[in-house]
Structure 1
Amino acid sequence: MLKKILYADSGADNAQDMLKRLIELPALKDSELSILRVVSSTTKEEEEESTQQAEAKIKELITKLGIRANKVTSIVREGEPKTTVLKVAEETNADLIIMGSRGLGKLQSILSNSVSQYVFQLTDRPMLLVKDDIYVKRIKRVMVALDKSPAAQYALDLALFLLQGYQDAELFLTRVNPDLKADISFSKQEMEENPILAPAVAKAKRMGINYRCLVTGGKPAQQIRNLAEDNNIDLLILGSPERRPSIAKSLPDLDRLLGSSLSDYIRVKAECPVLLARNEEI
């Protein structure tokens, strides 16, 4: 499912640490990894110097990751970072983009020319965002937020794929029903029989993946963020469908830019890496 991974390296330690944790998963042992560094320059001499420095940084990162250089494709490009990441993702046919993020919200992302937010707006590929101010841990607790949408089901499939063959992990299957009160409580059996979670429970059982169910009410964005924090989640996977018609895909989605969407709220507020699951076929 994630055969080709593109890591856009800005030098952020947290994002590099998350990449290392991710590629340690058994499910990704055969995945192809491309590491991109984007440079900018005004003269030919500056471009050559910047390229050499970028290549050296990629070599340092490969050493840090503990993988052989022949298992990685190094890419150095001159240009605007946000458009270059999108272009290289298309060229490499990446199944996942990994980037660092400052976790800016609302108009801050627009005014600061955020690279990660721009890529999130325009890509139709899953994207793993790692904020600069979070602590990256070994991936042992993975949460996936579920509802009836195809995007949520794709997020579940990604979570199950990542955890296959990995016995140390626990999958938190989470349902927040906005029609229920936030302080409502359910028994373990009631949660496992929840109509949204029951099919996911069956899939996890078939694959031999350890799981736990969480069901509550309230505002989904805030509750998902709170549940992730309360359960010390290491990776949160969230469906993030493309809502714009194809004719408008080159234009920013103002709802997301202004922070009114669930995925944008969690991207900014969650205290763990967030994988926004998006599939162009959905």
Structure 2
Amino acid sequence: MIQNILIAVAGLGKCEQMLKMLMEIPIIKGANVTILHVVAPQVTAELMAEKLTNGGKILADAIEYLKLDPAKVNVRLKQGDPKDTVCQVAEEEKSDLIIMGSRGLNRLESILSNSVSQYVFQLTSQPMLLVKDDVDIKRISKIMLGYNNSSSAQSSLKLALSFLRDIKGSQLLLIQVKADRKSADAPVNSEQDPVFAPAIAEAKRQGVAYKCIVGVGDPGKEICKAAEEFNADLIVLGSPERRPSIAKNLPDLERLLGNSLSDYVRVKAPCPVLLNRSTV
């Protein structure tokens, strides 16, 4: 259950729009929200003072726009490296969900441009909602879930259904992507695929409408294509925690440089992407 949300803001934009839509979901309505703005170190005290003043205005604008219950809002203006500060505040506030903007950079661009959202995603153990600058923000009624037999997919199923079960007319779009056409040919009816069986049973139990989709080929491309075709409002993906404990303070370069499904989808998706962390 999501009880504490952390949203990192840098000026009114898509993140605030996304949070406003999320707060309409019954299970999230009562959540506490921490609104964070981080000011990076500046070369002079005068410039730092100017940036802090501007940061205070950014926070005030966010509060005015979101119109949340004041008793449920915690506003924080912090100085420091934005990457480390977001992770630090998420731990301090025991955040169940982190919302951040994303420029949709690919892996190499993210490394070279020192992407804050990519860095935080690699280090956080909490679900993270990435909102690209170029996507449309819509009320959540259709969630696409990348689904398989993994524990992270099962955890993501619970999260997606918790969002949808109290929304009238909602639909869960279940998608699995198979490596080749031969493996996708049987059964013809995708709902009969045994991989979907646990998800279908749980969706029926919670009274959520569903649709099963089987893609063939590259998982990232197929998920993004299906999200556009079926007009998904949000994509949920399980993203297992792969870093050994000794490397908790280092970005996972294997995932940054490798062929990561979550990296592809966060860059190419036509809607916001919720990456659900799950330790396996």
What TM-score comes out, normalization by structure 2 length?
0.93
Q: Which stretch of the first structure deviates more once superposed, 56-65 or 39-48?
A: 39-48
Alignment partners' CA distance in 1, 2:54 and 2:69: 20
Give structure 1 regions of 4+ aligned residues with deviation exceeding 6 angstroms.
none
2:27 corresponds to which residue? 27
Structure 1: runs of 5+ lacking an equivalent: none
The answer to whether the 8 A contact 1:12-1:132 is kept is: no
Alignment partners' CA distance in 1, 2:68 and 2:79: 26
Q: Relative to 1, partners in 2 of residues 1:182 and 1:18: Cα closer, same or farther, differing over 3 Å? A: farther
The aligned amino acid for 1:116 is S
Q: Which stretch of the first structure deviates more once superposed, 242-251 or 24-33?
A: 242-251
Displacement of 1:259: 5.1
Residue-pair matches, total: 279
2:132 corresponds to which residue? 131
Alignment partners' CA distance in 1, 2:73 and 2:156: 26
Counterpart check, 1:237 vs 2:236: yes
- 1:262-281 mapped onto 2 (5 Å cutoff): 262-280=261-279
1:10 corresponds to which residue? 10
Q: Relative to 1, partners in 2 of residues 1:186 and 1:206: Cα closer, same or farther, differing over 3 Å? A: same
Alignment partners' CA distance in 2, 1:81 and 1:28: 26
Q: Which stretch of the first structure deviates more once superposed, 119-128 or 61-70?
A: 61-70
> What is the DSSP-based 3-state SS (H/G/I as helix, E as strand, rest coil) of the residue aligned with 2:54?
helix
Alignment partners' CA distance in 1, 2:276 and 2:182: 27
The answer to whether the 8 A contact 2:37-2:77 is kept is: yes
Displacement of 1:15: 1.7
The aligned amino acid for 1:255 is E
- 1:173-192 mapped onto 2 (5 Å cutoff): 173-180=174-181, 184=185, 187=188, 190-192=189-191
The aligned amino acid for 2:220 is A
Displacement of 1:54: 2.0
Displacement of 1:216: 2.8
> What is the DSSP-based 3-state SS (H/G/I as helix, E as strand, rest coil) of the residue aligned with 2:240?
coil
Alignment partners' CA distance in 2, 1:259 and 1:231: 28
Q: Which stretch of the first structure deviates more once superposed, 268-277 or 242-251?
A: 242-251
2:207 corresponds to which residue? 208
Write out per-residue CA displacement over residues 87-141 of structure 1, whole angstroms, 9 at most, x where no aligned residue: 1011111111100000101211111110001111111111000111111122121
**Alignment root-mean-square deviation, CA:** 1.9
How many percent of aligned residue pairs carry the same amino acid? 50
Structure 2: runs of 5+ lacking an equivalent: none
Q: Which stretch of the first structure deviates more once superposed, 266-275 or 33-42?
A: 33-42
Q: Which stretch of the first structure deviates more once superposed, 102-111 or 168-177?
A: 168-177
Alignment partners' CA distance in 2, 1:138 and 1:185: 35
- 1:220-259 mapped onto 2 (5 Å cutoff): 220-258=219-257
> What is the DSSP-based 3-state SS (H/G/I as helix, E as strand, rest coil) of the residue aligned with 1:26?
coil
1:118 corresponds to which residue? 119
- 1:156-171 mapped onto 2 (5 Å cutoff): 156-171=157-172
Alignment partners' CA distance in 2, 1:145 and 1:90: 27
Alignment partners' CA distance in 2, 1:269 and 1:90: 29
The answer to whether the 8 A contact 1:27-1:163 is kept is: no
The aligned amino acid for 2:129 is L
Alignment partners' CA distance in 2, 1:86 and 1:100: 15
Q: Relative to 1, partners in 2 of residues 1:179 and 1:139: Cα closer, same or farther, differing over 3 Å? A: same
The answer to whether the 8 A contact 1:182-1:218 is kept is: no
Q: Relative to 1, partners in 2 of residues 1:53 and 1:224: Cα closer, same or farther, differing over 3 Å? A: same
Displacement of 1:46: 4.3
Q: Relative to 1, partners in 2 of residues 1:161 and 1:247: Cα closer, same or farther, differing over 3 Å? A: same
The answer to whether the 8 A contact 1:167-1:210 is kept is: no
